[in-house]
Structure 1
């Protein structure tokens, strides 16, 4: 099922992964980046996790500058998650991610095929990379195989505005897409009662 649009998006702006010093007393936040197939769905799933402050759909992993939805060869669809580590841990984000995708599929996710829809965890620090590698080993032990790439994050490029919060702006189209693509059904088939662990009451 190929998603198509009639509205052209503006070129995305580059995001620097280097943080700025926060004033004393400011809320401490961290970022995490996950590629889990359609970024609309990944964004929706993480938005339903307590402690997540913001989600941004975008592109990551390719070589070009300013990728767009219609020109992002070599990139994956991904979501940058901004979270409050005092309310939700990175380990919890990893748990939610793994149990809301099919990590055994090397060719894409659900009805969306090709590299752009393959899964990956992009660590934004060495501590995250260590935690992500440990979680990968646990999932491999649980499922027998893992096709998800775990690596250090390169530049993340935010997607066009019409992709942000798509599930909120177009709830009927979004639900039709998610159901038609078979996302929830496949995740439940792979994970059984562990499907959507941490956000089970949401499930799309």
Structure 2
């Protein structure tokens, strides 16, 4: 885009377990400019996948979504996010366990913080879940894109992606809860 273009852009960062499974639900929506798999929230500069998996970096697998807020709002993205995760599981998501897979909404502004906090409160009050909503809401930190082979994994490795998603229990959970 040239500097003169009027395209509005904002970024949203969500962690909800394996980043492979967090790209597709957002990627094909109107107003989404791009979705990047990566790492955030830790202390290691430019971590590798292997380092993040070792649990020593403090990073969480996440997706950074660039979107046009005149087409899709941050609030809509947060609602879509909830429907991709188990918000009652603080120590990972589905078969992916540990801090690097914890559910987190990383906010980039006070407005995003307010929207995320209100949305979490509404989910808590809805009675949809018998257990507490433990998804964290944290200030965004530096986002490091993951290695190229992780980007658009659902497009590049369709069969592996579909098998992984099904075997992880994510789809069954989403279908039963949402």
TM-score by length of 1: 0.80
Give how far 1:131 is off: 0.7
In structure 1, the partner of 2:93 is 109
Alpha-carbon distance between aligned partners in 1 of 2:5 and 2:168, rounded to the nearest angstrom:
44
Matched, 1:84 2:71: no
Alpha-carbon distance between aligned partners in 2 of 1:99 and 1:71, rounded to the nearest angstrom:
29
Point out where structure 2 has 5 or more consecutive residues left out of the alignment.
Answer: none
Greater helix proportion: 2
In structure 2, the partner of 1:48 is 28
TM-score by length of 2: 0.91
Give how far 1:182 is off: 1.1
Give how far 1:67 is off: 0.7
Matched, 1:138 2:122: yes
Question: In the alignment, which of 35, 38, 54 is matched to residue 15 of structure 2?
Answer: 35
- How many residue pairs get matched? 170
Point out where structure 1 has 5 or more consecutive residues left out of the alignment.
Answer: 1-21, 196-204
Matched, 1:58 2:38: yes
Give how far 1:64 is off: 1.0
